[in-house]
Every structure is written in C-alpha cells, then in structure tokens.
Amino acid sequence: MADYHFVYKDIEGASTQWDDIQRKLGNLPEKPPAFKPHPFIPAEDDTSKPKDKAWVDSKTQDGLEYLEDDLDDDRFLEEYRKKRLAEMKEAVKVAKFGSIIPISGPDFIREISQALPEVWVVVLLYKEGFAACELLLKCLEELARRYPATKFVKIISTDCIPNYPDCNLPTLLVYNNGAVKANYVGLRSFGGRCTPEGVALVLCQSDPVLNDGQTGSDSSRKSVLDGESRRLIEKFVTEREDADDDSSSD
C-alpha cells in the first residue's frame, strides 16, 4: 500500500493563532510584510495627445522625421513639421565654429581656400607680443562666440606671407568661396577704438560676413548691423554713466 505524504502550504503572508501568540511573547520574529506588486501604470499613449503645434514642438529631430506619414491628413501640421525640421537642421548647421582656430601655413588651403561656399572666413595675421594684435584678437574672440556660423582663424603673419611687414599688423583678411573679399590693415581700419561692436560693423558694411542664422544674406546683414549698433550705443551710455558717477563721488 502506497504511503502518501501530504504537505500543506499556507497562503503566503498568513499566520496561525499560535504564531501570533509566540510573536507577542517575543519567541518568533516579526513576520515579513505580504508581497504587494507595484501598481500597474499604463504606458503613455502618444497617440492620445492632441496633435497641435505644441505636440510637434515636443518632438526631436528624429521624431519629426518619422511623423511624415502620420500627418498626411493634416496639411497645417505637416507644413509646420517641415518648418520645425528645417529650423532644427539649420541650427545644427549654423552652430559649427564658435572660437578662433589657430592654423599654420600648410593648413591655409584646406581651412580657408577650400571652405564651403556658404561659409565666410575671417583670417587674422598677427604676431605674439604686439599689443595691437592682442587687442584685435580679444575682439574677434567675442565675435566668434556671437557668430558661430562665421569661421575665424589666426595665423602668424610670416607663416602666411613670407617677410610680411610687422608695421602692417594686425591684418584681417576676409574670404568667401575661396576668394579674398576684403582686407583691413592695422587697427586704424576700425576707427579710434577697437571694440567687438566696431569690428563687427566694419566687417558687415558691404557683405554678410557675420551670419546670424537667418535665411537670406540681406536680412542677416541688416540684423547684425542693427544688433551691433545697439550694443555699441548701450556700451557708450553705460561708460558715460559710470564716468558721471565717478566724477560726482569726487
């Protein structure tokens, strides 16, 4: 006759009356809390959101790429999607430099003459230890941060042009599409005071050298001129106010 053994398992977390008495007396450890699964939170359904401009704005560039088929039935949103995608791509395209790149003679053709046609290149010819070169260099460092679509490079003058006279330093050369568009010899080219705003106004007098990222060279040039003129006036007013405060305190 077979011997059957039965093993009874209690419900997980359950306790007998005897166990409860023993726990009160301290003979048994406290029973562990009963397992409770985490509450179910359904994944956010993107399709349930209203499809409007804010919904499009929340998408990344990759997300906008994949939305093309979803918006075929909404002409306005499809046009807005294309506009936002173009803006994102333009922003990536514009923000590519942002600082002054030091180069040597062998780099000149690759970095300047072979630059992309839409890129303006400002070349500083300089030498270490010249106060005028240091002053213009500081101005260009500020402009390089303001206008990252413009390529700024610096090169020792005699590495660029053998026997270039020191009396011509600093010199700025402006290139576009492989050709020289302008040259400025000495600080006198930028008026009595050399400031980032003054240099910017000179560079953009005839060409859109400093690109603010707007579509169309004319609108970009006008935007830069207006912005730098405003900065120059604000700086002048601030300096006058500071000078008046100093004189009144004396």
Positions in the chain short of pLDDT 50: 1-2, 4-10, 12, 45, 48, 215-217, 219
Torsion 162-164-166-171 (CA) sign = negative
Q: What structural domains does the chain harbor?
A: 51-94 (no CATH), 100-235 (3.40.30.10)
Four-residue CA torsion sign, 221, 227, 228, 230: positive
In three-state secondary structure terms, 240 is helix
Q: What H or E segment, with its residue span, contains residue 122? A: strand 120-126
pLDDT for position 101:
95
For the stretch 167-200, pLDDT in tens is 999 999 999 999 999 999 999 998 867 899 999 9
* Dihedral pair phi/psi, residue 151, rounded to 5°: -95, 120
The distance from CA 161 to its chain's CA centroid, rounded to whole angstroms, is 34
